Amino acid sequence: MGALEISIVPGSDIRTNSSSSGHQRHYNGVRIDNWIIEMKTNFGFGKPVNASFDEAITQVTDELQKEGFGVLSEIDVAATLKKKLGEDMPPYKILGACNPALAHQAVSAVPEIGLLLPCNVLVREDDTGQVHVSFMDPGAVLGLVDVPEVEPLAAEVKERLTRVMDNL
């Protein structure tokens, strides 16, 4: 498993969605107000958002569209685990995002690159009710291909996904 890097950066409030609870987030025992804790691994990046789960799905879909992405698939992991295993878990959906122009360039350069597409966007709610949005790092995933023509595409996709995250 990849290392997890947590950065604390100035930004939005990271209270839970339950505004009546007044619950505060803590980091190393310090109360955090008006800060965001961003998630970054060697395969993805993301952040908590101040929205309900359904609002986050709508917001991320809208922001993806602004960057030229459509959502080709929506996998409801929580519903699938409930149906198949009888297991309950907080809401957890994986959106398969695709920018057709960039995907066409990638598939034209390496036909088998489709095994690594589309870009996964994870929207999940944790046990406290906090909603998180995370993005597959296209540089890390497409770096597996090791074809020079793909590197600038991966960089552009990551730049667009980073803007999506920043606008949430």
Residue 47 has what DSSP assignment?
A: E
Contact of 110 with 65, CB cutoff 8 Å: no
Q: What is the pLDDT of residues 59-81, one digit of tens each?
A: 999 999 999 999 999 999 999 99
Q: Report the alpha-carbon distance of residue 50 to residue 55 in Å, rounded.
A: 9
Domain residue limits, the chain: 50-166
Contact of 29 with 11, CB cutoff 8 Å: no
Q: How confident is the model at residue 30 (pLDDT cuts 50, 70, 90)?
A: very low
Query: What sign has the CA pseudo-torsion 82, 87, 89, 93?
Result: negative
Q: What is the pLDDT of residues 121-132, one digit of tens each?
A: 999 999 999 999
Residues whose CB is less than 8 angstroms from the CB of residue 35 and which lie 6 or more positions away in sequence, other chains included: 8, 9, 10, 11, 13, 14
Q: Report the alpha-carbon distance of residue 13 to residue 60 in Å, rounded.
A: 18
Fold category of 50-166 in CATH: TATA-Binding Protein (3.30.310)
Measured between its terminal Cα atoms, the distance across the chain in Å is 27
pTM of the entire structure?
0.78
Of 42, 6, 41, nearest in space to 25 by CA: 6
